[in-house]
Structures are given as structure tokens and as C-alpha cells.
Amino acid sequence: MRFPIQAISAKDIEFNYFGNGDYQAVNIAGLSESDRQSITFYRGDNLEELCEIEAGILLVEQELEGKIENCKSSAIVFCDHPKYQWIKIIAANYSNGYEDDSTFETKDETIRISKDAYIESNVIIGSFSQIYPKVCLYKDTIIGKSCEIQSGSVIGGIGLGDVWYKGKYHKLVHLGRVIIENNVSIGTNVSVLKGMLEETIIGEGTKIGNNVNIGHNVVIGKNCYISSGVTIGGACIIEDNCWLAVGASLNDHIHMKKNSKIGTGSVLIRDTLENGFYLGNPARKISDRID
């Protein structure tokens, strides 16, 4: 996703640059979503890959200065820790917080919402959904039809996402959303974090038990079964019909292929194959899934 920012040029950034220093970027984006109006960053040293990136302003490592001749980006800025410089620009335009006087109003009489729920602005709740006491729904969250969210669960909370720079952590402002599709059930004390710049998505028909943590940018497919005490690290992809047993954990950026299962207490540190049953720490495939 791309988010509007106050216009910025390479000349506005206090580092040397290559290309059109007057060209102004008007939005900020991750690398995969960048375009000629965006400012983004690249932390590698593959010059061929770097020169194919299309951005308005591309932040790169200082040691690449003098090594670039042609590129598709309008301007390249050579800076100390590109990601840190990028999150500084986000922080200059956006912040995370909470609303003191949040209220939710709907004319849909099929929606049942506890008076003790906390719901911020720009939240959408579909027909026949139930929101229990002490649920928190932060801004820009989308809840589908016939969903159930039980007490103590927080949807759209802000994850860590900090960047280490010069001896301390610096916060990355989270701008993404949470989208919960139709017929999803969420138990008590579940945390679903909003995306950094992308969306956290829970697919239709998925069931989530109590005390589950779902990190930012996670995408969960349809009809998954996530048992109590599961922890899912950031940016994981869980395809349709997967089953995560009690207390299972997924490292960041894990991809569970459809119909795969991870057993009780297992720790998944590598992607799975379709229809596999994985068990242990670290989890290994022990059989095909037969249930």
C-alpha cells in the first residue's frame, strides 16, 4: 500500500544523491508497492536489482555511492541505514495513538455490540456479528458478516516493528489495517496486530481459540483452525484449511501451504508442504495429513 506524505525531494534529505534532486515524492511505500511517486528503501548491494526498482526516491546504503550509472528511480539517496531514514519520514507524517472519545453507531439491528466494547473510528462491522464486552477494535478495522469476537480480544493493535539504530530502538509507525472476513470466530484475549504498511487478513470461516497472538502483515486463508495459545510471527502466510494445534508457534515469514497441520507445542521455522503433518521443535514433517 502507498500512503500520502508531505512532498519531499532528494535535496530535502541530508545525504548525497544521484539523479534528479528536485523530483518530489508524494507518498511512502514498501519496496514491492513503490512507484514513481513514492519514496522507499533498499538495503541490499545487488546493483542490477537496485537499478530495476522504480521509485521517485530510493534510499540505499552509503557505500553504493559512485557505483550506480543508470537506474529506473528518479533519484537515489546514499544514506546511513536506509530503513531508519525511511521510518523517520513516516514518523514526520503519521503517528499511532488511540481515541479518547470513540463511539460506534450503526443502524443495523442484527449487529450485537456490548456497551463495554471499545471501537474507534473508521471501523466497519458486518451484519449478524457479535462483539463481546472488553473487546477493542482500533481504527480502520474491517469485520465481516456473522463474526464473533469474544471478551478481551484486541483487533488492530500496534506491534513492535522497531528498528535498531545507534544504540537504541526506533518505532516504526504502523499504517496498515486488519481485515476479518465473514464467519470468523475469535476467542478470548486474542491479539491481531494491524499491518505495518500492508494488511493483516483473516480469511472466511477461520476459527481462532483463546490467547492467540497474530503478528502484523499475517495472511490467514479460509477455514483454518487455530487452537488456543498459538503464536504466529509477523508476515506469515497460512493458506486455506490449515490446522495449528494448541501452543504451536510460527517464526516470522513462514508459509504454511494449504491443508497442512502443525502439532501441539511445535515450533515451525521452515515453510511446509501441502497436506503435511508437522511435529516437534523444530517441527519436521512426520506424515501426510490424514484427517
Catalytic site residue from 81, 170, 174, 216: 216
216 catalytic per annotation:
yes
Between the alpha carbon of residue 6 and those of residues 77, 82, 86, 119, the distances in Å are 18, 19, 14, 29
75-79 and 17-19 beta bridge pairing: antiparallel
C-alpha cell at 89: 519520514
Of 96, 245, 246, the C-alpha closest to 159 is: 96
What is the per-residue DSSP string for 239-261? -TT-EE-TT-EE-TT-EEPTT-E
- Cβ contact 74:57 at 8 Å: yes
C-alpha cell at 265: 507445542
Q: Which residues are catalytic?
A: 216
